């Protein structure tokens, strides 16, 4: 379309292929998932902040995880929904594109680090229950949360800078519903193989770095659970870790599928499906994974609902 896009004012997001009717179906489905994601994670945050039963490190981390999930999905999904309603392609400036990508990657990195911290928390709870409150005190928990946020936002500065410094000369149409880095590399006429390889190594470092404490923690957790003599004791110990382990499998699996690849310029459909897993499906599942089998959370939620019903009757 234009000949040089390194100073281009706008890119155009192609969004989803298909007819207008198909777009309406997509809009209804994604709007439902996004609404449930917001409501579910907001409920978790409110419960963690306002219920005395949930004042423990596990729920402290869960509250921050819910905040990250809301922010991650809100970075791209509202724009995607707006694009499904409007005819044609959406325009987005280079700086807005870079800002969206930076927020998405930074928040995602922070979430991976936080998942690793939650694995360590579960290890201390199962393997050292008598010293749990001493080790996982409020200072330690705050340090881990702050460190995860800072690491995520500092770690992604160079990757975004390297991406927006590319010379875009092939097209200004991004075949995606948000500013996907792989599609931006496709539009560049620079030799970006080295940059892509460095980004691959950085993605491996973050994801494997989050998995290592998780794998080590669950190795000790499983060995401890096996030694518990009673069946009820083993079940109780396992239930404290099952939700986190499930979330790690889904979250890290999606990130491995999307980012751990030597070439960032994968097929558009591949990136689109993987991005939907990370941006829509995983945040939607988070409230159900952490609450449906959590007896303490369910009891606390029932108490809140009873109080609300009593207030309404009065």
Interval 153-167: pLDDT, tens: 999 999 999 988 888
Comparing 1-15, 93-107, 283-297, which segment has the lowest mean pLDDT? 1-15
Give the pLDDT of residue 77. Answer: 93
Residue 6 has pLDDT above 60, yes or no: no
Give the pLDDT of residue 5. Answer: 45
In this prediction the pTM is 0.87
Please give the mean pLDDT across all residues of the chain. Answer: 84
Pairwise CA distance, residues 239 & 155, whole Å: 34
DSSP 168: B
Residue 246 has pLDDT above 70, yes or no: yes
Residue 100 has pLDDT above 90, yes or no: yes
Residue 261 has pLDDT above 90, yes or no: no
Comparing 112-126, 127-141, 222-236, which segment has the lowest mean pLDDT? 222-236
Q: Hey, CA dihedral for 51, 52, 53, 58, is it positive or negative?
A: positive
The helix (H) or strand (E) run that includes residue 226 is helix 193-227
Strand partners, 304: none
Pairwise CA distance, residues 132 & 300, whole Å: 22
Give the pLDDT of residue 102. Answer: 95
Q: How confident is residue 4, by pLDDT bands cut at 50, 70 and 90? A: very low
Residue 257 has pLDDT above 70, yes or no: no
Pairwise CA distance, residues 123 & 216, whole Å: 9
Give the pLDDT of residue 185. Answer: 87
Q: Mind listing the domains of the chain with CATH numbers?
A: 10-313 (1.20.1070.10)
Residue 308 has pLDDT above 90, yes or no: no
Residue 211 has pLDDT above 70, yes or no: yes
Give the pLDDT of residue 135. Answer: 92
Pairwise CA distance, residues 302 & 313, whole Å: 16
Pairwise CA distance, residues 173 & 1, whole Å: 9
Strand order from edge to edge, sheet including 10-13? 90-93, 10-13, 173-174
Q: How confident is residue 305, by pLDDT bands cut at 50, 70 and 90? A: confident
Residue 229 has pLDDT above 60, yes or no: yes
Interval 131-158 mean pLDDT: 93
Q: Hey, CA dihedral for 278, 284, 290, 293, is it positive or negative?
A: negative
Q: Hey, CA dihedral for 45, 47, 52, 55, is it positive or negative?
A: negative
Q: Which residue has the higher pLDDT, 187 or 3?
A: 187
Interval 57-75 mean pLDDT: 92
Give the pLDDT of residue 3. Answer: 44
Give the pLDDT of residue 260. Answer: 59
48-52, 98-102, 204-208: which is most confident: 98-102
């Amino acid at each position: 379309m234009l000949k040089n896009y390194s100073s281009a004012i706008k890119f155009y997001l192609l969004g989803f292929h298909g007819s207008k009717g198909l777009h309406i179906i997509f809009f209804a489905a994604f709007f439902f998932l996004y609404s449930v994601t917001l409501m579910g994670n907001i409920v978790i945050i409110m419960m963690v902040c306002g219920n005395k039963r949930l004042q423990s490190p596990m729920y402290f981390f869960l509250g921050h995880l819910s905040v990250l999930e809301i922010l991650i999905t809100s970075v791209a999904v509202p724009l995607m929904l707006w694009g499904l309603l409007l005819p044609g392609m959406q325009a987005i400036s280079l700086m807005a594109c870079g800002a969206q990508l930076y927020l998405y990657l930074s928040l995602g990195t922070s979430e991976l680090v936080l998942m690793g911290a939650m694995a360590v928390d579960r290890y201390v709870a199962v393997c050292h229950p008598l010293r749990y409150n001493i080790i996982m005190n409020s200072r330690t928990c705050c340090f881990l949360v702050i460190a995860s946020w800072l690491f995520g936002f500092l770690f992604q500065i160079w990757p975004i800078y390297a991406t927006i410094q590319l010379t875009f000369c092939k097209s200004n149409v991004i075949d995606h519903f948000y500013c996907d880095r792989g599609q931006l590399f496709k539009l560049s006429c620079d030799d970006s193989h080295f940059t892509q390889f460095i980004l691959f190594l950085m993605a491996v470092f973050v994801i494997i770095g989050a998995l290592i404490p998780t794998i080590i923690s669950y190795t000790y957790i499983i060995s401890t659970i096996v030694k518990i003599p009673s069946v009820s004791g083993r079940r109780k110990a396992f239930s404290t870790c099952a939700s986190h382990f499930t979330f790690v499998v889904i979250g890290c699996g999606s990130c491995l599928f999307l980012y751990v690849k030597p070439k960032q310029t994968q097929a558009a459909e591949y990136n689109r499906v993987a991005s939907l897993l990370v941006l829509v499906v995983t945040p939607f599942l988070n409230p159900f994974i952490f609450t449906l089998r959590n007896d303490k959370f369910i009891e606390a939620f029932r108490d809140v609902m009873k109080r609300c019903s009593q207030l309404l009757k009065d």
